[in-house]
């Protein structure tokens, strides 16, 4: 009996061998079966599950397309200790859902899901050769790479032109993501390159400006407006610096000429702004010279009672001297103070602040003193007259009293 | 000289009046007039002598 059962089982397994899926266990009429304890232990499946869509038809169909294994080393899912081993084997053989001679993916179906055996829940199926997940992953990576490349190019151009960022793009999400990433990178690099080139253009412009006044932009920088501007800025900066230096030189020359009483004519064939600086310096020199002579006249006013024409080189200096002499308003104050001091009959004493005007102070003090003496004399005369008059009146009244007394006795 | 003499007389009258409050005014007036007449006469005589002398 046991032998019969063994023979029948052997025959059935031989006949229906092709219905066995990636892991051991046959499917039922619905195309599914319960996971065996062995497969569960290996993590290949769990509980009741379907294969190939799980229909009775597929089961029947699979029966009808039954084929025997092509190799004696044909493996099924129960031959592997883990699912990683299954994937490794699958990948090493270069199997795909179309090329699955060992029927690890389904049971002899030419088209299945491309996943050998039963992938554990949450398993990254993109590791599986030619799996839909892997194909999708590769496509996404390719899209992203393409987007990055194209975005970088556009971004670099935009960054170098220093235009506003515009990361909008059309395509798959991965393409757009790659495009934006590449654009940002390209924009930054382009912009950095632009700044470096601008700095270089500015420096070149500066070197040109240090040598010449005429602005000639080299062809190298003509292609880009920003570079042209930088070159021009550097050029103008150098020209400006050179001009400032020259202006200072001509201003000093004009100043010296002004001080030395030269003709005041600037050198020939120089820029108008240099001439202006020369004239400015000349005016300054003349102005200082004038101040000097005016000061001399001003100081002289402290030592003279009346103006005396000085012995100076030119009439212009004499004019300035006189102007300074007449502008001295302190003299009037000194004269008044000295006169009042004398008028009050005070003793002669020059205050420290008037020491430099001793002559004037002395003169006006004595004028005041003289006036004081005259007034004193007038006062005395008036007092004497008053006394005499008073005494006369008293005498007259005394006489009248005397007469009255005589008449009354 | 008339004005001066009038002023002198007025002042002298005031003094006399002040000194003779308790005396008879008519008698006092008589004395004053007598005194002044004598003075006038003396003055007149003196003037006449001076004129004759010159």
Partners of A34 in the beta sheet?
A48
Closest CA to A106 of A169, A59, A46: A59
Closest CA to A218 of A226, B3, A208: A208
Residues of A in contact with B20 (CB under 8 A): 408
pLDDT (tens, 9 = 90+) of chain A, 409 residues, equals 556 655 555 444 444 443 444 444 555 555 555 666 666 665 555 655 555 544 433 333 333 333 334 444 778 888 888 889 889 999 998 888 788 888 888 654 555 678 888 888 888 888 898 888 889 999 999 999 999 999 999 999 999 988 899 999 999 999 999 999 999 999 999 999 999 999 999 999 999 999 998 999 999 888 888 899 999 999 999 999 999 999 999 999 999 999 888 888 889 999 999 999 999 999 999 999 999 999 999 999 999 999 999 999 889 999 999 999 999 999 999 999 999 999 999 999 999 999 999 999 999 999 999 999 999 999 999 999 999 999 999 999 999 999 999 998 8
Per-residue confidence (pLDDT) for residue A120, from 0 to 100: 86
CA A76 to chain centre: 69
Burial class from Cβ neighbours inside 10 Å (0-12, 13-18, 19+) for residue B22 reads exposed
Per-residue confidence (pLDDT) for residue A102, from 0 to 100: 83
Burial class from Cβ neighbours inside 10 Å (0-12, 13-18, 19+) for residue A351 reads exposed
Pairs of CB atoms within 8 A across A/B: 33
| Paired tokens of A298 | 């001003």
Residues of A in contact with B12 (CB under 8 A): 400, 403-404, 407
ipTM of predicted assembly, 2 dp: 0.91
Q: How far apart are CA A280 and CA A255, in angstroms?
A: 8
Helix axes of A315-326 and A272-300: crossing angle, nearest 10 degrees: 60
Per-residue confidence (pLDDT) for residue A70, from 0 to 100: 42
Whether residues B11 and A397 touch (CB distance < 8 A) is answered with yes
A-chain residue closest to B5, CA distance:
A400
Question: Residue A34 — φ and ψ, nearest 5°?
Answer: -80, 140
Parent domain of B12: 2-53
**To probe the interface with A, which of B12, B22, B39 has the most A CB atoms within 10 Å?**
B12
Minimal Cα–Cα distance from B1 to chain A, Å?
15
Q: How far apart are CA A130 and CA A136, in angstroms?
A: 10
Whether residues A404 and B13 touch (CB distance < 8 A) is answered with yes
Residues of A in contact with B16 (CB under 8 A): 404, 407-408
Sequence-distant (6+) residues with CB within 8 A of A30 are A50, A54, A55, A56, A59
| Paired tokens of A318 | 């004499």
Per-residue confidence (pLDDT) for residue A37, from 0 to 100: 64
Closest CA to A46 of A16, A62, A23, A76: A23
Per-residue confidence (pLDDT) for residue A33, from 0 to 100: 56
Q: How far apart are CA A44 and CA A60, in angstroms?
A: 24
CB A29 within 8 A of CB A56: yes
Q: How far apart are CA A29 and CA A85, in angstroms?
A: 30
B12 touching A (Cβ < 8 Å): yes
User: What would the pLDDT profile of B6-51 be if each residue is shown by its tens digit?
Assistant: 999 999 999 999 999 888 999 999 999 999 999 999 999 999 988 8
Helix, strand, coil: what percent of chain A each, to 5? 65, 0, 30
CA atoms within 13 A on the CB side of A173: 2
Q: Parallel, antiparallel, or unpaired for β A32-34 and A48-50?
A: antiparallel
Minimal Cα–Cα distance from A390 to chain B, Å?
17
CA atoms within 13 A on the CB side of A178: 19
Partners of A50 in the beta sheet?
A32
Q: What is the DSSP string of A14-29?
A: HHSGGG--SSSS---T
The CA R_g of chain B, rounded to the nearest whole Å, is 15
Q: How far apart are CA A287 and CA A282, in angstroms?
A: 8
Helix axes of A358-408 and A330-343: crossing angle, nearest 10 degrees: 30
The count of domains in chain B is 1
| Paired tokens of A371 | 């006036």
């Amino acid at each position: 009996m046991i032998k019969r059962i063994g023979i029948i089982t052997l025959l059935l397994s031989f006949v229906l061998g092709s219905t066995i899926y990636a892991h051991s266990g046959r499917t039922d009429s619905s195309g599914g079966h319960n996971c065996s304890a062995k497969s569960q232990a290996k993590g290949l499946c769990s509980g009741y599950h379907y294969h190939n869509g799980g229909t009775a038809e597929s089961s029947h169909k699979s029966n009808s397309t039954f084929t025997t294994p092509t190799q004696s080393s044909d493996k099924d899912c129960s031959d592997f200790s883990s699912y990683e081993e299954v994937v490794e084997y699958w990948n090493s053989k270069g199997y795909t859902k179309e090329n699955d001679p060992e029927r690890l993916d389904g049971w002899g179906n030419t088209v299945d899901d491309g996943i050998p055996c039963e992938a554990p829940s949450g398993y990254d199926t993109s590791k599986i050769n030619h799996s839909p997940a892997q194909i999708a992953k590769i496509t996404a990576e390719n899209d992203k790479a393409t987007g990055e490349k194209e975005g970088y190019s556009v971004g670099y151009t935009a960054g170098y032109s220093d235009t506003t960022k515009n990361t909008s793009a059309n395509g798959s999400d991965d393409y757009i993501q790659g495009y934006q990433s590449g654009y940002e990178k390209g924009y930054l690099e382009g912009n950095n390159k632009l700044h470096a080139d601008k700095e270089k253009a500015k420096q070149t412009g500066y070197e040109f400006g240090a040598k010449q006044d005429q602005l000639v932009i080299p062809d190298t920088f003509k292609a880009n407006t920003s570079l042209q501007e930088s070159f021009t800025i550097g050029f103008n900066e150098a020209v400006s610096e050179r001009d400032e230096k020259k202006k200072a030189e001509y201003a000093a020359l004009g100043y010296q000429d002004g001080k030395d009483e030269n003709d005041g004519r600037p050198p020939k064939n120089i820029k108008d702004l240099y001439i202006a600086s020369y004239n400015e310096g000349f005016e300054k020199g003349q102005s200082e010279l004038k101040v000097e002579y005016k000061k001399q006249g001003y100081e002289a006013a402290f030592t003279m009672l009346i103006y005396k024409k000085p012995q100076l080189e030119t009439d212009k200096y004499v004019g300035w001297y006189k102007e300074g002499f007449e502008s001295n308003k302190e003299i009037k104050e000194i004269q008044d103070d000295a006169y009042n001091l004398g008028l009050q009959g005070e003793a002669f004493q020059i205050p420290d602040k008037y020491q430099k005007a001793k002559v004037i102070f002395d003169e006006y003090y004595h004028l005041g003193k003289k006036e004081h003496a005259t007034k004193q004399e007038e006062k005395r005369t008036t007092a004497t007259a008053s006394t005499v008059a008073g005494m006369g009146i008293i005498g007259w009244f005394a006489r009248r009293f005397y007469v009255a007394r005589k008449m009354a006795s | 000289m008339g004005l001066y003499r009038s002023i002198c007389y007025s002042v002298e009258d005031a003094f006399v009046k002040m000194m003779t409050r308790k005396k008879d005014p008519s008698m006092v007036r008589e004395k004053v007039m007598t005194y002044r007449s004598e003075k006038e006469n003396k003055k007149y005589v003196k003037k006449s002598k001076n004129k004759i002398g010159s």
